[in-house]
A and B are shown apart, each in its own frame.
Chain A
Amino acid sequence: MNMYQAINDGLRITLDKDPDAVIFGEDVGFGGVFRCTVDLQKKFGKDRVFNTPLCEQGIAGFGIGLATAGVTAIAEIQFADYIFPAFDQLVNEAAKMRYRSGGEFECGKLTVRAPCGAVGHGGLYHSQSPEAYFAHTPGLKIVMPRGAKQAKGLLLGCIEEPDPCIMFEPKILYRTAIDEVPTAHYTIEIGKAEVVREGDAVTLVGWGTQVHVLMEAADLVQEKLGVSCEVIDLVSILPWDAELVCKSAKKTGRVVIAHEAPLTNGFGAEIASTVQEECFLHLEAPVQRVTGWDSPFPHVFEPFYLPDKWRCFAAVRNILNY
């Protein structure tokens, strides 16, 4: 299965299992612009899989209302770039509902899915990775899968999690990431990172598409410098697995964090600061961040914007020579 098929499978399992669950958003009825909801309306009916008017704040608010009533609500924002009109609903409302009502009301059954990240030619508004904006919001949970198997497990995890969750889905992986995906129901725990390659010289931390870039960079490092990198897929942005990252940092003494989003206040800053605080005596070099530049995401300059394997490789080389 590729990633969109894995997501489709997860959604189908949910609708099958939970007769109240609904899926809604812009153009999800005919299968979605990335095919993630294909055939679901046909199978489960228009009451459960339906198009909404074109209005992101409405989609988020509507989803919160459904979840407040106890319904499993799976909302789709067509591109993560267009989630900002829903920022108020997600940050001020969804995230704070349980807290502000003393637990009397909550919208934990809300899951928001949004395609994110670079796609080769997406320009300013079909490429963004807005996870850091949301990571500053207590009350939300945020995840990003690196492939088909993780996407299904994380999606089902988000749907069953008793807190509002946002899953950012790297859109470039929808058709390119192909895994053996179990057809049965399974979940991946939110808040847990994963070591995808063991190593001892440098810890590389990334999420989503960037994990694949880091794997390639690790190959390059092995080939050209003859040392091994430990690659960690952070998986969950909020809450994030500081324990696993710090454990690896203490082992290797060197950490490179890479993400597509811009550098300043990107989530890498949070990781770097925590690693510095927790692993100060183990660090052999300053923590490095390889990220998108502090510019909007450009169209024709995309190859120069992204933290590609060569920039990651250079960072690893520099940190080894420190």
Chain B
Amino acid sequence: MMINKALFGGVVKHINFKNILQQTKRQCNNTNTEIGIDTVTNVKESGYLGIQVSFTDKLLFFNKESYDALPIFRILHSPEQTEFPKEYKINEQTMTRMYYKMLTLNIMDKVLYESQRQGRISFYMTNTGEEGLQIGSAAALTLNDVIYAQYREAGVLLWRGYSITDFMNQCYGNYKDTSKGRQMPVHYGSRKLNFVTISSPLTTQLPQAVGTAYALKQSKKKACVVCYFGEGAASEGDAHAAFNFAATLECPILFVCRNNGYAISTSSLEQFKGDGIAARGPAYGIRTIRVDGNDVLAVYNATKAAREFCIETGKPVLIEAMTYRIGHHSTSDDSSAYRSVNEISHWNHNSPIIRFRNYLESINLWCKQQEQQSNESIKESVLRAFKDAEKELKPCWKELFTDVYRTMPKHIRRQLHSMENHVTEFHEHYPLHSFKST
């Protein structure tokens, strides 16, 4: 208990989320003045650069058992709950829109997952179970905020205005795909929506996001960078790099970790031994909160407060959103090989969509009839977009050679010409009919 106080100044047990940012600020201002360890000598004696600390004559080692795990911020506790603190209220229109987008994402996932099973697209990754944290956080941001994502954040794009047709075009790699069919499905990106194009190497986007945040701060724009990643990705060296750079260089970035329990087949139990990802935040000097990722209202409110702090102070925030990956890792994965059906069905019953719907129904913002109608109309528009995207031609094959550099160097031009001659000669052996001619 004394140690607990030493590390958290005794605040941890009585966290008042309304004031969490201000509280921590106060705490920072009077570090070490109220430390609970009984034998303390003069603070100023130490003089170690960057470490403000007192001495103790007790031989103590610290581990995560030395203090309580960081609590999970939650607003929607149970299905019956109809009331929660006023300051967390969101206007009704926004709430129904949030729910509608969660539903849309869920239905689009089902259609595209099935289409991969039928061999119509090559690959897909669903967002099932994580719709709440995606839509909840996205709704708390503005279009001026720059997004860097991992790959399981389609909901963020959906919220920002990426159309179902845009998603389909990318998955098909047809000529309407802005990235010209070069990347695998679900590697979305949009300059217009300030969403940096996704790449497969995990965590590389984290230090990049920090760099962009530094640029935003220098330009004095009232915006921040929001960077999403999974708990598995947090084990990469780039995560360490990013947290440390963001803190030392004071960058307005919001790190959002989707802790969904699994990195493909590797459960969190094999991924880390500390108190999750959140506990790492304070170790880097980053203001941190852990939220219930299946509670869209909690995610929204935490993101909103974090964003304000980021922009106001120019400093980073870490949000660890606790959730569960209900779907398989990807279409190349059968998750029943490493986890139980019971575990999945437990989370299926506690999904963010169900929880939010129960709440909306309880305050008469949603009803069974609306649910059914929305389901049908979303499904119809997804299927329509899907069929349209499937019919479109792929980009001209010569786009294989463009955009490597701003202007095509001679050696690449020579390779293009060589392939051109080859394709002319052997045209019947190449799928030219499904590609545009120029």
Contact = CB atoms under 8 A, between A and B. Distances in A.
A and B: bona fide binding partners:
yes
Interface of A: 20, 22, 47, 50, 52-53, 55, 57-58, 60-71, 73, 85, 88-89, 92-93, 96-106, 108, 138-139, 141, 162-163, 191, 239, 242-243
Contacts of A191: 409-410
Nearest to B206: A61
Given A55-B240, A57-B207, A65 B215 contact: yes
Contacts of A50: 249
B207 A65 contact: yes
A105 B245 contact: no
Contacts of A47: 218
B201 A88 contact: yes
Given A47-B218, A69-B146, A97 B207 contact: no
Contact of B197 (A20, A53, A55, A101): A101
B203 to A, nearest CB: 9
A26 to B, nearest CB: 12
Interface in B55-86: none
B247 to A, nearest CB: 9
Interface string B231-243: 0000001101110
B409 to A, nearest CB: 4
Interface residues of B, number: 48
A139 B214 contact: no
Interface string B397-412: 0000011111101111
A82 to B, nearest CB: 14
A105 B189 contact: yes
A104 B178 contact: yes
Given A52-B245, A65-B211, A69-B215, A88 B204 contact: yes
Contacts of B241: 53, 55, 57-58, 61-62
Contacts of B410: 191, 239, 242-243
Interface stretch (B9-17, B180-188, B330-338): B180-188
Contacts of A58: 207, 210, 238, 241-242, 244-245
Contact of B210 (A61, A89, A101): A61
A85 B238 CA distance: 10
Given A100-B182, A101-B179, A65 B240 contact: no
A61 B207 contact: yes
B182 A62 contact: no
Contact of B403 (A73, A93, A103): A103
A234 B245 CA distance: 37
Contacts of B214: 22, 62, 65-66
B211 A63 contact: yes
Given A61-B242, A62-B214, A99-B403, A68 B237 contact: no
Nearest to A106: B406
A69 B237 CA distance: 23
